[in-house]
Structure formats: structure tokens, C-alpha cells
């Protein structure tokens, strides 16, 4: 299991290849990648991602450990970036490996649902004319109920 919080970009292909290598007991690897989406008006310049150093790593580790246990995963990976990103940039990724795909898919969704509202990150969308903090959605909180 690996949790990385970094401002540098990551190489999605290389990460997935490394993650998928040497997993003798796993028949399934699922990955999810989060991308900076443009605002509705189409003029996003920067997405600034703030986080709480220390708590971020602890929270992500706790969430990943829970996923490892609940779905008997062979491995799990979470990479989340912070700092200034542009439209189309990769923000984060999760990867899960399990014997069967159902567990790998479910664990990846669990990781995503939890890190959306339980990992201390905050996003700010900056355009030429505005700078707005992205508000948390009620749906995101409600998504935790199914776990």
C-alpha cells in the first residue's frame, strides 16, 4: 500500500505499470484518475489545491488501510497532488488490486468517495475575473452512507 501527496505531476502509465507488476495473487487492477475540469464558462486558468500537511497523509493512509482490509486487496495506491494545476492536468489517482474485479472496483469507489469528503484538500477555481472556493456537494457526503 502506498500513499503519496505531492505537488509534482505523476506519470500515470508508469505508476500503473509498476503497481500491476508482481501481483501474483491478483486477477484485477482498477485505476481511477481525476482530471482538472474547466469551469462552465470555459475560462479556468488555475485550480489551486490547498491541503493540511500531516493530516492529509494520515487521513489517506487510514482510508487506504480500511479499503485493504474490507476488500482483502493485494495492494492499493493513492496519489494526490496539491498546488497550482491547469485545466486537463491530472489531480489524483487511485489503483486497487484484488483477486477478482468486483472487489477492485468497489474498493476504488470507496477510496474515491472517502477521499472526496474526508481527506483535507480544498480546491479554488481561478479565472481571469474570479477566484472561488469549490463548495462541497451534499451528494459527496451522502455517497459515504452506502459504505
Please give the residue ranges that form the binding site for other proteins (CB under 8 A): 34, 50, 52, 54-55, 58-59, 80, 91-92, 112, 115-124, 133-136, 140-141
What is the smallest separation between the CB atom of 13 and other proteins, expressed in angstroms?
21
Q: Classify strands 44-51 and 83-85 as parallel, antiparallel or unpaired.
A: antiparallel
Smallest gap from Cβ 138 to other proteins, in A, equals 10
First and final CA of the chain: distance in angstroms?
21
Give the residue with the Cβ less far from other proteins, 59 or 74. 59
Contacts of 39 (CB under 8 A, 6+ apart): 125, 127
Nearer to other proteins (CB atom), residue 18 or residue 141 = 141
CA dihedral 108, 147, 60, 13 (to 10 degrees): 10
In the sheet where 83-85 sits, what is the strand order?
Answer: 83-85, 44-51, 121-127, 131-133
Amino acid at each position: 500500500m502506498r500513499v503519496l501527496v505531492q505537488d509534482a505531476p505523476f506519470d500515470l502509465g508508469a505508476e500503473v505499470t509498476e503497481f500491476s507488476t508482481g501481483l501474483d495473487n491478483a486477477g484485477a487492477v482498477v485505476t481511477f484518475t481525476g482530471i482538472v475540469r474547466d469551469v462552465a464558462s470555459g475560462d479556468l486558468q488555475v485550480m489551486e489545491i490547498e491541503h493540511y500537511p500531516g493530516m492529509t497523509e494520515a487521513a489517506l493512509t487510514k482510508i487506504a488501510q480500511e479499503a485493504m482490509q474490507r476488500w482483502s486487496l493485494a495492494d492499493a495506491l493513492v496519489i494526490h497532488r496539491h498546488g497550482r494545476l491547469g485545466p486537463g492536468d491530472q489531480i489524483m489517482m487511485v489503483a486497487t488490486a484484488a483477486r477478482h474485479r468486483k472487489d477492485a472496483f468497489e474498493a476504488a469507489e470507496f477510496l474515491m468517495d472517502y477521499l472526496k469528503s474526508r481527506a483535507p484538500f480544498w480546491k479554488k477555481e481561478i479565472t481571469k475575473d474570479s477566484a472561488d472556493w469549490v463548495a462541497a456537494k451534499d451528494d459527496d457526503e451522502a455517497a459515504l452512507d452506502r459504505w
